[in-house]
């Protein structure tokens, strides 16, 4: 246990051997603020402060407050300390989140000075925010005249969160979830959209925002959570001196009450907008949802997770099998699974792509399946497999997306928010042991289904049908609302709107004194890149790379094959080949048996391709197929055999299964558009710049989504389906002839055993046969495209062909992206333009420099802003501090740690494509040497107007603007 600060009282501590951590709980004596500290031998320290935020409407008050609180504080009265600190930091993570019942402010850093700097800024931002009315207008919502100073022009709504939520609620899964919550949680905060409904956001007043802050942002309502090798005492000293000492205890108790329960199931129907589609048939979503027990009860939560695994984990799971094969819908609902992040658990299942007249039939199929399982049960090995998956989830050391410490903190946050036991959700070994005993009862799963689902009256059946007229009616309603508002304005009201608009513009243009903010400098950067060494050896004639890493009893293995030459007919099928490869049958096992077996022995099994341009010439590519898996060390032999069988005995004769997989992939890809619109737009804009960039657009980008829709329709023909399966088999036969190598990652003491198992499974490599590797023709083309889809906002991209990573100019171009974002693009696109985000960056793998905007209300103006940033670069005087901040951002990104296994995989993949340690260190050194003159020079040389390509993701309402821009219209 750490030393306790006198301002805090120690509650308890618990060592969790499985995670190699000690969890300590403290309480602040005066305010009652909770501090959960996770002590670990890890220098990537994590901080999070969470406030219980329980909105009573859908105005987005908690979400807008999250944004506004970060726009200046008592100690740091600058208008943008959050984004300014991102530039002055070596953070490995820095953000803020609004959930349905909490708001959290987390960050992580490996640098102790940087950590303390960020802690100082975060504490002041959360507890002593200025909440300037102009920041509320910028981040939340405001009305302005379309022509800012012309009161005769029409009124328009603006605001970052307003536009963000317009984009977020363009996603059908988001609409489905928000609609379901209205009925599944009829009396608590979850029935509201905590992010904010665009129709409701303008109802929020500045006074209401401040009142919400006063009640909810108080230490008595706060949960402090930390992770890493900084002792709890040091954290507590800073909490006390910088914030808590100025507060007394608040008597307000913020909590989510128990949900009022239904005495009988209910059925509801609503509609969602479906634009750009003439035919609305078979576009209905039908879901069933149950409210279960408390998420703070560990045993109930694990039992519910177990049930969800049994029913939905893979294609052989009985309910998942029904949803994938039902003729009443196209694919399982995107909401399927257990929702365990709120106070009460919810289980959801259903179908998308249904006929709205089949609602009762869908419900009957689901309930009949549950009744059958309740009567017949499931095989014991399926229960063991579900428990095996839970154990793997508990044991794995993450850190490739979020820092590992933040993952642990977030795991404990739900329980802490609802005043449960946060330590219990981290230490589940005893609960898993108890569950292992319970599954020995032959009636365990049957009774669980009856109790939680069949006999549970709190059930909602939601039908969400398409309506092609909703978007137009919403737009008309918004225009009518603004017109009615304008009718009520006096001359003085109009003048106040103009004055506020001008005041906000002036605030956005002002240069704050950023010297009052703490920061790190280039001198604080580590001298060299962190490097994970691996062995170079062979096994049975195959190359093998082995890495020793702290994997907590898990072994990771990959089989990597050169991609063979493929003609224009086979190449576009690569994504569907890799998708099917691990989802079909194998040898004597059909796909159902294979799915069951995978769940018993591995935590995951996947296949993917990676195509990159060479580091000195992106017109020359290298390409590999990887089959990847992970398992508990005790199962390594079975995992190794499964990988061998997957490669050598994959079956492409299961035609109905192949068709199911393509239909499901289409549903997932179509749903991903509005969440990844900026990435898709950038991929489209750079598709003419290198072979790998073009292939990325064709396979995984907008063109790939469009071709997938056509493929799904074509496979309704038996003849086409047979031909498609034959082509997949042809690709596979060519892969079998390809040179291969192996990757093995485990703890040091397990590597030799795993290597021996590998030698036993894979026979000696034969003499090298002639093999033609994948080659792609050079690509040099300018793209001018607009892609129409169902979205209320725009995603804009402009791209220029540049240079690969080995070129001396690559470093300056990489720094230039952050320099333009920090100094110009953030202000004009986000703050002034109202987009949720925007920026620029160099992609060395495809030799392209790309501008982008995300959830953007503007289109042509944003494209002009991209160009204007280059004029600003050349015509304005720039300070050395701005250059240093851009360099810090690049180095921080390069030095960001991953999971132990993830870092080994990253090193392996980099060196697979020739990015060895020497090249990476040389590139890093060049980054540190970039000058302001370098930035201007590379912009002049490479970012020339006549070389620019443009791609936007937008909606049909922008047709006139698109035609004026001369862009070719593409329909998704």
Can you give the residue ranges of every domain in the chain? 8-167+185-253, 279-467, 784-971
Chain-centroid distance, C-alpha 858: 24
pLDDT value for 770: 82
pLDDT value for 740: 94
pLDDT value for 19: 86
Say if CB 146 and CB 155 are below 8 A apart: yes
The pair of three-digit structure tokens given for residue 307, joined into one six-digit string: 């049930």
- Evaluate if residue 507 carries a pLDDT over 90: no
> pLDDT by residue (tens digit) across 721-734?
999 999 999 999 99
- Evaluate if residue 357 carries a pLDDT over 90: yes
Categorize the per-residue pLDDT at 276 as very low, low, confident or very high, splitting at 50, 70 and 90: low
Per-residue CA distances from 831 to 71, 183, 840 (Å): 11, 36, 16
pLDDT value for 428: 82
Please tell me the distance from the alpha carbon of residue 282 to that of residue 355, in angstroms, as a whole number: 4
Say if CB 777 and CB 691 are below 8 A apart: yes
Please tell me the distance from the alpha carbon of residue 346 to that of residue 444, in angstroms, as a whole number: 20
Q: Mean pLDDT across the stretch 765-786?
A: 89
Per-residue CA distances from 635 to 51, 432, 439, 521, 639 (Å): 42, 19, 21, 47, 6
Q: How many CA atoms lie less than 13 Å away from 606 in the CB half-sphere?
A: 7
CATH 3.30.830.10 holds for 784-971: yes
pLDDT value for 605: 96
Please tell me the distance from the alpha carbon of residue 613 to that of residue 886, in angstroms, as a whole number: 26
Strand-strand pairing, 102-109 and 93-94: antiparallel
Give the least confident one: 397-406, 684-693, 700-709, 859-868. 397-406
Please report where in the chains the tokens 């890799």 appear, as a residue: 578
Of 788, 172, 190, 791, the closest CA to residue 465 belongs to 172
- Mean pLDDT across the chain: 94
Please tell me the distance from the alpha carbon of residue 670 to that of residue 171, in angstroms, as a whole number: 10
Q: Mean pLDDT across the stretch 440-446?
A: 90
Categorize the per-residue pLDDT at 399 as very low, low, confident or very high, splitting at 50, 70 and 90: confident
CA torsion through residues 161, 163, 167, 172, sign: positive
> 869-899 in b/e burial notation, b at 16+ Cβ within 10 A?
bbebbeeeeeeeebbbbbbbbbbbeebbbbb
pLDDT value for 576: 95
Of 287, 283, 281, the closest CA to residue 268 belongs to 287
pLDDT value for 425: 83
Of 862, 865, 884, the closest CA to residue 873 belongs to 865
- Evaluate if residue 529 carries a pLDDT over 80: yes
Give one DSSP letter per residue of 199-247, joined into a string. Answer: TTGGG--HHHHHHHHHHHSSGGGEEEEEEESS-HHHHHHHHHHHTGGG-
> Given phi > 0 = left and psi -120 to 50 = alpha, else beta, which region is 431?
alpha
- The answer to whether the 8-167+185-253 and 279-467 domains have the same CATH topology is yes
> pLDDT by residue (tens digit) across 869-917?
999 999 999 999 999 999 999 999 998 888 889 999 999 999 999 999 9
Q: How many Cβ atoms from other residues are within 10 Å of residue 271's Cβ?
A: 18
Say if CB 654 and CB 752 are below 8 A apart: no
The pair of three-digit structure tokens given for residue 891, joined into one six-digit string: 């180095």
Say if CB 600 and CB 388 are below 8 A apart: yes
pLDDT value for 1: 56
Q: Mean pLDDT across the stretch 651-673?
A: 93
> pLDDT by residue (tens digit) across 59-99?
999 999 999 999 999 999 998 899 899 989 999 999 999 99
Categorize the per-residue pLDDT at 531 as very low, low, confident or very high, splitting at 50, 70 and 90: confident
Identify the CATH class of 8-167+185-253: alpha beta
Please tell me the distance from the alpha carbon of residue 204 to that of residue 215, in angstroms, as a whole number: 16
> pLDDT by residue (tens digit) across 294-350?
999 888 899 999 999 999 999 999 999 999 999 999 999 999 999 999 999 999 999
- Evaluate if residue 972 carries a pLDDT over 90: no
Categorize the per-residue pLDDT at 790 as very low, low, confident or very high, splitting at 50, 70 and 90: confident
Cα-Cα-Cα-Cα torsion 889, 891, 896, 897, nearest 10 degrees, comes to -170
CA torsion through residues 516, 517, 522, 523, sign: positive
> Which numeric CATH code is attached to 279-467?
3.30.830.10
Please tell me the distance from the alpha carbon of residue 657 to that of residue 490, in angstroms, as a whole number: 66
Instruction: Indicate the SS3 state at residue 100.
Output: coil
The secondary structure of 728-768, three-state, reads HHHHHHHHHCCCEEEEEEECHHHHHHHHHHHHHHCCCCCCC
Q: Mean pLDDT across the stretch 220-239?
A: 97
The pair of three-digit structure tokens given for residue 284, joined into one six-digit string: 């209905």
> In this prediction, what percent of the chain has a pLDDT beyond 90?
85
> pLDDT by residue (tens digit) across 97-134?
999 999 999 999 999 999 999 999 999 999 999 999 99
Instruction: Indicate the SS3 state at residue 548.
Output: strand
pLDDT value for 514: 84
Please tell me the distance from the alpha carbon of residue 331 to that of residue 667, in angstroms, as a whole number: 7
Q: Mean pLDDT across the stretch 849-864?
A: 96
pLDDT value for 2: 63
pLDDT value for 79: 86
Return the H-helix or E-strand segment holding 323. Answer: helix 318-325
Chain-centroid distance, C-alpha 419: 28
Instruction: Indicate the SS3 state at residue 34.
Output: strand
Q: Using CB atoms within 10 A of its CB, is residue 969 exposed (0-12), middle (13-18) or buried (19+)?
A: middle
- Evaluate if residue 278 carries a pLDDT over 70: no
pLDDT value for 288: 98
pLDDT value for 530: 85
> pLDDT by residue (tens digit) across 535-578?
999 999 999 999 999 898 999 999 999 999 999 999 999 999 99
Say if CB 198 and CB 165 are below 8 A apart: yes
Please tell me the distance from the alpha carbon of residue 490 to that of residue 606, in angstroms, as a whole number: 64
CA angle (603, 605, 611) in 5-degree steps: 135
End-to-end Cα separation, the chain, in angstroms: 58
């Amino acid at each position: 246990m750490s030393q306790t600060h006198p301002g805090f009282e120690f509650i308890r501590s618990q060592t969790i051997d499985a995670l190699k951590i000690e969890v300590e709980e403290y309480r602040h004596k005066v305010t009652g603020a909770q501090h959960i500290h996770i002590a670990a031998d890890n220098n990537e320290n994590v901080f999070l402060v969470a406030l219980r935020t329980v909105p009573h409407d859908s105005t987005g008050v908690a979400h807008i407050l999250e944004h506004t609180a970060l726009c200046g504080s008592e100690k740091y009265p600058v208008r943008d300390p959050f984004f300014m600190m991102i530039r002055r930091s070596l953070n490995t993570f820095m953000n803020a989140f609004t959930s349905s019942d909490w708001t959290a402010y987390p960050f992580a850093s490996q640098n102790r000075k940087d950590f303390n700097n960020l802690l100082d800024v975060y504490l002041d931002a959360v507890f002593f925010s200025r909440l300037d009315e102009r920041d509320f207008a910028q981040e939340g919502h405001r009305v302005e005249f379309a022509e800012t100073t012309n009161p005769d022009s029409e009124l328009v709504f603006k605001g970052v969160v307003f536009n963000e939520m317009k984009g977020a609620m363009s996603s059908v899964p988001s609409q489905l979830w928000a609609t379901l919550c209205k009925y599944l949680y009829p009396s608590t905060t979850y029935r509201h959209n905590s992010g904010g409904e665009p129709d409701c956001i303008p109802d929020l007043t500045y006074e209401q925002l401040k009142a919400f802050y006063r009640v909810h942002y108080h230490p008595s309502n706060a949960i402090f959570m930390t992770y890493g090798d900084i002792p709890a005492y040091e954290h507590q000293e800073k909490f006390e001196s910088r914030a808590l000492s100025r507060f007394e205890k608040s008597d307000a108790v913020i909590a989510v009450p128990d949900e009022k329960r239904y005495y009988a199931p209910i059925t509801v129907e609503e509609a969602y907008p479906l634009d750009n589609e003439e035919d609305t048939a078979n576009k209905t979503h039908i879901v069933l949802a149950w409210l279960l027990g408390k998420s703070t009860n560990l045993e109930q939560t694990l039992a519910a997770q177990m049930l969800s695994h049994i029913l939905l984990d893979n294609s052989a799971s009985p309910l998942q099998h029904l949803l994938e094969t039902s003729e009443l819908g196209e694919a399982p609902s995107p909401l399927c699974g257990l929702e365990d992040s709120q106070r009460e658990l919810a289980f959801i299942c259903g179908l998308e792509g249904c006929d709205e007249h089949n609602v009762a039939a869908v419900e009957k199929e689901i309930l009949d399946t549950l009744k059958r399982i309740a009567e017949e049960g499931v095989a014991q090995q399926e229960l063991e497999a579900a428990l095996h998956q839970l154990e793997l989830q508990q044991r794995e050391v993450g850190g490739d997306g979020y820092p590992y410490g933040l993952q642990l903190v977030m795991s404990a946050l739900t329980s802490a928010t609802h005043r449960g036991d946060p330590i219990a959700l981290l230490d589940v070994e005893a609960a898993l042991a108890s569950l292992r005993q319970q599954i020995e009862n032959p009636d365990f799963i049957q009774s669980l289904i009856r109790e939680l689902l069949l006999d549970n009256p709190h059930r909602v059946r939601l039908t969400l049908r398409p309506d092609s007229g909703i978007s137009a009616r919403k737009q008309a309603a918004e225009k009518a609302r603004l017109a009615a508002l304008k009718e009520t304005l006096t001359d003085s009201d109009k003048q106040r709107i103009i004055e506020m608009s001008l005041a906000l513009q002036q605030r956005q243009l002002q240069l704050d004194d950023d010297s009052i903010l703490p920061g790190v400098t280039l001198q604080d950067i580590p001298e060299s890149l962190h490097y994970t060494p691996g062995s170079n050896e062979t096994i049975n004639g195959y190359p093998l790379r082995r890495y020793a890493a702290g994997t907590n009893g898990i072994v990771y293995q990959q089989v990597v094959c050169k991609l063979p030459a493929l003609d224009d007919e086979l190449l576009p099928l690569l994504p569907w080949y890799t998708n099917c490869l691990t989802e079909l049958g194998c040898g004597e096992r059909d796909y159902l048996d294979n799915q069951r077996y995978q769940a018993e022995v591995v935590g995951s099994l996947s296949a993917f391709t990676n195509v990159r341009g060479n580091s000195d010439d992106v017109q020359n590519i290298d390409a590999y197929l990887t089959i990847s898996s992970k398992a508990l060390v005790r199962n390594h032999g079975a995992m190794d055999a499964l990988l061998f069988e997957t490669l050598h005995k994959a079956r492409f004769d299961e035609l109905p299964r192949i068709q199911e997989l393509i239909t499901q992939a289409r549903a997932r890809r179509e749903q991903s558009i509005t969440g990844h619109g900026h990435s898709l737009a950038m991929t489209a804009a750079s598709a003419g710049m290198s072979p790998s960039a073009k292939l990325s657009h064709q396979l995984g980008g907008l063109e790939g989504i469009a071709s997938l829709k056509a493929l799904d329709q074509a496979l309704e023909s038996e003849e086409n389906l047979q031909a498609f399966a034959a082509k997949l088999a042809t690709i596979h036969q060519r892969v079998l002839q390809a040179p291969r190598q192996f990757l093995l990652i485990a703890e040091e003491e397990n590597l030799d055993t795993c290597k021996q198992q590998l030698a036993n499974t894979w026979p000696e490599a034969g003499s090298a046969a002639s093999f033609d590797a994948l080659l792609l023709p050079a690509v040099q083309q300018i793209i001018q495209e607009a892609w129409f889809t169902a979205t209320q906002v725009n995603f804009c991209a402009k791209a220029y062909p540049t240079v690969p990573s080995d070129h001396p100019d690559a470093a300056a171009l990489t720094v230039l992206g952050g320099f333009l974002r920090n100094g110009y693009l953030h202000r004009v696109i986000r703050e002034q333009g109202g987009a949720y985000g925007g920026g620029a960056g160099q992609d060395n793998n495809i030799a392209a420099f790309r501008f982008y905007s995300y959830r953007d209300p503007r289109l042509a103006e944003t494209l002009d802003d991209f160009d204007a940033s280059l004029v600003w670069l050349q015509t304005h005087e720039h300070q050395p501090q701005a250059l240093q901040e851009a360099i810090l951002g690049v180095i921080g990104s390069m030095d960001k740690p991953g999971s132990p296994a993830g870092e080994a995989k990253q090193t392996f993949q980099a060196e697979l494509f020739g990015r060895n340690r020497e090249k990476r260190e040389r590139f890093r050194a060049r980054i540190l040497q970039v000058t302001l003159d370098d930035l201007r020079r590379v912009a002049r040389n490479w970012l020339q107007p006549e070389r620019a390509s443009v791609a936007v993701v937008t909606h049909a309402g922008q047709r006139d603007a698109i035609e004026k821009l001369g862009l070719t219209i593409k329909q998704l």
